[in-house]
Amino acid sequence: MVARVLTRLALAAAVLVGPLGAASANWVTIKNDTGKTIVVQETVVVNGQVKRGKTTNLLAGETVREFLPGPTVKRIEVYDAGNPNQAAWSGTLNCKDENQTFSVGAAGGKVTVGQVPNPKK
């Protein structure tokens, strides 16, 4: 009888604690380090057709954060808000099974996107 109660308590604790540990990983953050307003848009290919997701405007220094349930490759396009008809950068983000931050910056007059190293724990 006591063993059953202890087993149920252990199972209940595992159910409650397990999701809390998993909730802290898999966040992808995109930060605007360009000094001007940009537009970020995800694209996916469905049946050979490019489908565009919702646009997100980011002012200088702002971030957008998204939870991903597992590792994936995200295809994004970055636009200058002043010229939304021409992508300033287009590429893929290799999103791993961990928290990651990507910085959108400018170098030599071109927009660049790179991963920011995570601080050591």
**Inside any domain, residue 13:** no
pLDDT score, position 77: 96
Domain membership of residue 65 (yes or no) is: yes
Residue 41 belongs to some domain of the structure: yes
Answer yes or no: are the C-beta atoms of 93 and 28 closer than 8 Å. yes
The answer to whether position 1 is within a domain reads: no
Residue 86: what residue type?
Answer: Q
Q: Could you tell me the CATH number of the domain that includes residue 109?
A: 2.60.40.2890
User: What length does the chain have?
Assistant: 121
Q: Which residue segment(s) compose the domain that 105 sits in?
A: 25-116
- The number of distinct structural domains making up the chain is 1
pLDDT (tens place) for every residue of the chain, 121 residues total: 545 544 455 555 555 555 554 455 789 999 999 999 999 999 998 999 989 999 999 999 999 999 999 899 999 999 999 998 999 999 999 999 999 999 999 999 899 999 998 876 6
Exposed / middle / buried, residue 17 (Cβ in 10 Å: 0-12, 13-18, 19+): exposed
